[in-house]
Chain A
Amino acid sequence: MSDLNRKVHEALAQIGRMTRRDFIRFGAAVTSAATLGSLGVANAALAALPEGVHVMTESEHAVFARLLAVMLPTEGSRLVPTTQVPVMQTLDAALLATMPPHLLEGLKGGVKYFDEGPIPRYGKRFTELDDAAAARFCDEWANAPEAPHRALAMGLKKLVGLAYWANPPTWVPLGYDGPVTRKWGLKSLGNAPMPK
């Protein structure tokens, strides 16, 4: 096992040891997916709706999954492959499930609008574009004269990125070591004494 793989597995194991209560909503996605192991997550990602995804529909999942692949082409890089990270589960449980209903409704409309965005210029939905065209479309909308196009390109990529980078194993290849207080043995100072 390479040093990188060992560190990734250590980080996954560390997450597995954390209690569900520690994570509340966010960790629920990370923990449940992490305990599946990377193979389980990869297999789940091939399904129409992977295990642990409840808020997004199949068509919304297709858009987010395509955006993840286009935004984070990890092949050939040091980054943890997206197939080994429960991105869709994290996005669904931690971000979408916590949105107020009116915002979630707006987002769902935005996802559909984004998917249909390339049709006038490319003759295809976003989910049907090849990698190069899909990346070009994202960059075009990010610099579009229409504010909603910019907002969607920026916002959807932010959501997908957050759902990937929130998972601690993704930090290992960056050289970021994450939480340190317990590792460094820092003691709590507790409550301050009452002022005189």
Chain B
Amino acid sequence: MTQKMIAQVPRHGLKLTQAADVKQPSIHLAADAVIVGSGAGGAIAAYELAAKGKTVVVLEAGPYVPSEKFTEMLAIAMGTLYQDHGGQSNTEGDISILQGACVGGSTVVNAALCFRTPDYYLQQWAQEFGLTNLTPEVMAPYFDKVEANLHIRQNAPHETSPGAELINAGLKKLGIPPGIAKRNIKECGLTGFCFAGCVSDRKQSMLVTYLPWAVAKGAQLFADTRVTKVLADEGNARGVEAEVVDPATGRKKADLRIDAPIVVLAAGPVQTPLLLLKSGLANSSGQVGKNFACHPTMSLTAEFDKPVDDFHGATHSLYVDKYTLPEEGGYLLLNAVQDPVEASFQVEPGTGKPYVSYMSRYRNTIRLITLIHDKNVGEVGWTDGAKAIRYTVDDADFESMKAGLKTNARVLFAAGAKRIHLPTSHALAIEGPAEIHRVIDGLRNEPSRYRYTSFHPQGTCRMGADPARTVVNPKGETHDVRRLYVVDASLLPTSIGYNPSETVYALAHYIADQINAPQA
């Protein structure tokens, strides 16, 4: 098939088809490749395949929200840009699992923090999962490539926030080395609204990079289009069936069928396994949807005597990874600015006047996040026709969280905090450094006791050499169905303890190269 080439990337916006553009009740297209999802993995695969002359169709379930429509209000962004309007959680309801659900996926609403996959995990994946192809030497050029394409740079000295400056001072007092954030942001406007989408297109999300590039190479992009079934016969991918849904009414506007010999799944670690399970494909191992991990986080909120105003600035400025590898503790600390909507539910000061008093001192607060490397103990599946994310924090992982919270609290007190609130269901605060161990040692791993947030679901179609233990082979193709690929964080055989976006970017490039390579 011949790919129609468009010479120029437009200065702004994306050429695509939305539900409002669809007039006929049924659409039937043919392409070389159909890609399900337009986030990190899908956009990169679309560009790489289109750049090699393949006809590519990208199907995104979420809406197209151009950056000029972003409101810089988190509550509204949750409703328009996030999965389940920001309400996605585990079945216990105590872990908020946040994912983008719009054209560009989570890259539109993440904080742009990038880390290369640590060699530690590449080596572990080689030893335990047979991924001997993903050596640090093989992966290095892929990291180089995405860092160049997405303008991934270490924060300049001015790219910080008032809270980060306090935390940095605390780290210095304690002799803990800070890590300076690397982000895919160009000329950061320091608004602090990464989680609500970047109005001025400084964040180099897929919305302003790989998607317009892919479209310029001839890829066709549909928004508001949910894939309902992956098609295969005789062990070969054949295409997908989908529905175009009016986002305003929730009603189906058209059926869509794409015939394509290459199918690339990039719907994310929740939707990709759900789609495979619904399609009854690629699950001879029984591992589709299993091995879910999500890097649970808890934020400590520190109160200071004076206003800090930690709501504008770089969303992330610094981190502490001295204790991030499992043998060192298994936790990462990250600063982040916080708006009042988030602050309103992160802790429980007590009902009534204590809460009013606490929120009245919002300007005096900062938060420091503890993120843990967790075990792959969860599962994504269907229950009575509805998705279910069954995951509770493992007891050993909870001990890592407690260790992380202790370090977190030490840093905040060293930074000058007068009181620290814990993200528990009940009112719990630490009034001084001497109380840290007593209070945190008293925490028990119980459901619905803590206010967890996860930005990093992963692991549900894990990659490996053994078809009995893994879903996807070392080249990104499912063991069971030829030319059916996965290019999102479902692939990760273990959690990696760091933000996984750059890992996904690099793996998507690597797998796109395997797709483009001559087939035996």
Name A's B-contacting residues (CB within 8 A).
18, 21-27, 70-74, 77-79, 94-95, 98-100, 102-103, 131, 135-136, 138-139, 142-143, 147-148, 150-151, 153-155, 157-158, 161-162, 164-166, 168, 170-171, 173-176, 178-182, 184, 186-195
Contacts and interface: CB of A to CB of B under 8 A. Distances in A.
Nearest to B72: A179
A26 B76 contact: yes
Given A174-B363, A175-B307, A147 B446 contact: yes
Contact of A151 (B10, B94, B312): B94
Interface in B133-172: 148-149, 151
B202 A77 contact: no
A121 to B, nearest CB: 16
Contact of A158 (B9, B311, B345): B345
Contact of B75 (A26, A179, A189): A26
Contact of B448 (A78, A136, A147): A147
Closest 9 pairs between A and B when the two form their complex, measured CB to CB: A166-B75, A179-B72, A143-B426, A151-B448, A26-B79, A138-B351, A181-B199, A190-B12, A135-B352
B191 A180 contact: yes
25 contacts: A18-B71, A21-B69, A22-B71, A26-B78, A27-B76, A77-B357, A98-B84, A103-B87, A142-B426, A143-B426, A147-B448, A154-B348, A154-B448, A154-B451, A161-B344, A161-B345, A162-B75, A178-B72, A180-B72, A186-B202, A188-B199, A189-B208, A191-B12, A191-B201, A195-B149
Contacts of B149: 195
Given A143-B425, A176-B363, A181-B193, A157 B351 contact: yes
B375 interface: no
B344 A165 contact: yes
Contact of B201 (A25, A71, A155, A190): A190
B362 A139 contact: no
Nearest to B76: A26
B449 A150 contact: yes
Given A103-B87, A143-B426, A186-B191, A25 B79 contact: yes
A191 B212 contact: yes
B9, B68, B344 pick with most chain A CB within 10 angstroms: B344
B498 interface: no
A104 to B, nearest CB: 10
A98 B356 contact: no
Interface string B414-428: 000000000001110
Contacts of A157: 345, 348, 351
A192 B208 contact: yes
Interface in B357-381: 357, 359-360, 362-363
A189 B186 contact: yes
A109 to B, nearest CB: 13
A29 to B, nearest CB: 10
A184 B425 CA distance: 38
A194 B219 CA distance: 14
Contact of A187 (B151, B200, B350, B446): B200
Contacts of A182: 199
B204 A176 contact: no
Interface of B is mostly: loop
B425 A24 contact: no
Given A179-B193, A184-B189, A189 B202 contact: yes
Contact of A166 (B93, B341, B427, B451): B341
Nearest to B362: A174
A139 B80 contact: no
A108 to B, nearest CB: 15
Contacts of B425: 142-143, 150-151, 153-154
A192 B75 contact: no
Interface in B1-54: 9-13
A162 B200 CA distance: 26
Given A22-B69, A150-B426, A180-B312, 19 more contacts: A73-B352, A73-B356, A102-B386, A135-B351, A142-B348, A147-B92, A154-B94, A154-B448, A161-B344, A176-B363, A180-B193, A181-B189, A188-B12, A188-B67, A189-B200, A189-B208, A192-B213, A194-B9, A195-B148
B451 to A, nearest CB: 7
A4 to B, nearest CB: 13
Contact of A181 (B13, B200, B360): B200
A142 to B, nearest CB: 4
A194 B201 CA distance: 15
A192 B344 contact: no
Contact of B340 (A151, A176, A179, A184): A176
B216 interface: yes
Most buried by B among A72, A77, A154, A168: A154
A180 to B, nearest CB: 5
B279 interface: no
Contacts of B233: none
Contacts of B357: 77
B286 interface: no
